[in-house]
Structure 1
């Protein structure tokens, strides 16, 4: 999925703020990067249409919130990128993690092992 710089920044904003309308997002970015309210409104609308934000009409304005967590989004990005380079019979996820994990420290690998074990336990309990 291709995202522009402002779209990425807006997603980061919503991962740290529960919800906001376009004016609130504009006020946040105005001091950091400038830009018009119209640009923010267009950006939020594009993110909504891409399924990355949810919105609800409140009065005359839409109030936006994240459609998925940052971790879920990163997971979808990895899956999206790897499917372009692997056949359905190849295990792209294994290849991606093997490659990525080669640069991790022992502590980071241990943390990853803990997260995998937590996922296993969650899957078993469902």
Structure 2
């Protein structure tokens, strides 16, 4: 897939807990529901069953893969973080495709909320995508 092709990731809507689970798994893949409960469940005051249900939803959404080890599944992300975020952004912008000017203005407004370092990185990525600078 080239840099200019749209993301082919299925990007279903995600809840806060689903996003939290994905973040943990991107940092440390191959975790069981019990592992994730130790990380997220206790801190959020949620049950192991809630973590298991969340993992199952993410698996059905094809965002996680799982392997059975002994009596438990171990989960790992199916898509890289950047690819999922790009898919979510593309889906959102696609909902407003009939008004490209407003979508671009909203993107600029969102970028305005970034710190200087993030804006510098965005500028470098855009230059690299246009072939005007070194790829990062």
TM-score (norm. length: structure 1) = 0.76
Moved more, 47-56 or 104-113: 104-113
Match of 2:82 in 1: 71
Match of 1:9 in 2: 20
Match of 1:41 in 2: 52
Is 1:21 equivalent to 2:24 in the alignment? no
Q: Show CA shifts across 1:50-96 (max 9, x none).
A: 12111112222111011112211110110010111114xx5898566
Name which structure has the greater RCO, CA cutoff 8 Å, separation 6+.
2
Of 31, 51, 59 in structure 1, the residue corresponding to residue 70 of structure 2 is 59
Flag as ranges the 4+ runs of structure 1 deviating above 6 A.
none
Q: 1:43 to 1:106 in 2, by over 3 A?
A: closer
Match of 2:121 in 1: 111
TM-score (norm. length: structure 2) = 0.71
Q: Distance in 1 between matches of 2:86 and 2:102?
A: 13
Q: Distance in 1 between matches of 2:105 and 2:85?
A: 16
The alignment of Structure 1 onto Structure 2 pairs a total of residues equal to 121
1:101 Cα shift? 3.5
In structure 1, stretches of 5+ residues that fail to align are 122-126
In structure 2, stretches of 5+ residues that fail to align are 1-11, 132-136
Is 1:32 equivalent to 2:48 in the alignment? no
Match of 1:124 in 2: none
Moved more, 26-35 or 93-102: 93-102
Query: What is the RMSD computed on CA atoms of the aligned residues?
Result: 2.7
Is the contact made by 1:53 and 1:64 (CA closer than 8 Å) also made in structure 2? yes
Moved more, 40-49 or 51-60: 51-60
Q: Distance in 2 between matches of 1:62 and 1:119?
A: 39
